């Protein structure tokens, strides 16, 4: 059945950037752009590339096999490889150094595995660059915590009073 074979190929290689696909970075800081991949049948001479806004290649690496770490084919000087492919996760994350406002945009982590008839997959992260991290207004959170805390306090007090009352009732009944 040729159809089944194609299905197996489609689901074999997966690329992920984690739970959220948006990252916020502070101007002039370094930011981690996470990416991992999984493959059911292993890989050989696997190629991975990172693109900025779909066209600009910022990192190009190649991995011989599961036993070896990637070697660099080409990169933007501000990009550093921070992953590892010999561990449990095939981590091909990169670090973008000295982030500027012009770095905001779409980053695509692209993986191609020759062992899977050149199956290829990618995952995308959107980077926003801010001047300073804005503190969210915590007053509402504090009010909610206060209310919940107050309710728990009342509940404990109620239970203590109930115990004391029951104890007194029991004592007076015993006294009769």
Which pLDDT tens digit goes with each residue over 36-80?
998 888 888 999 999 999 999 999 999 998 888 999 999 999 999
Architecture of domain 14-130: Sandwich (2.60)
CB burial string 55-75: b at 16+ within 10 A, e below: eeebbbbebeeeeeebeeeeb
Residues of the chain with pLDDT > 90, as a percent, come to: 48
- The mean pLDDT value of the chain amounts to 84
Q: Give the Å distances, CA to CA, from 106 to 33, 34, 102, 110.
A: 11, 13, 11, 13
pTM, entire model: 0.69
């Amino acid at each position: 059945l040729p159809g089944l074979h194609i299905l197996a190929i489609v689901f074999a290689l997966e690329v992920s950037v984690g739970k959220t696909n948006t990252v916020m970075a502070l101007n002039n800081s370094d930011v981690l752009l996470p990416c991992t991949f999984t493959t059911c049948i292993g890989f050989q001479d696997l190629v991975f590339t990172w693109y900025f806004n779909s066209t600009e290649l910022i990192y190009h690496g190649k991995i011989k096999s599961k036993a070896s770490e990637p070697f660099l084919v080409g990169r933007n000087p501000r990009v550093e490889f921070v992953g590892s492919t010999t561990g449990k996760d095939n981590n091909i994350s990169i670090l973008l150094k000295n982030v500027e406002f012009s770095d905001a945009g779409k980053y695509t982590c692209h993986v191609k595995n020759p062992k899977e008839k050149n199956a290829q997959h990618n995952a995308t992260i959107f980077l926003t660059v801010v001047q300073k991290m804005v503190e969210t207004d915590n007053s509402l959170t504090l009010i909610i915590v206060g209310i919940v805390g107050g309710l728990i306090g009342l509940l404990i007090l109620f239970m203590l009073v109930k115990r004391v009352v029951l104890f007194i009732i029991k004592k007076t009944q015993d006294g009769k």
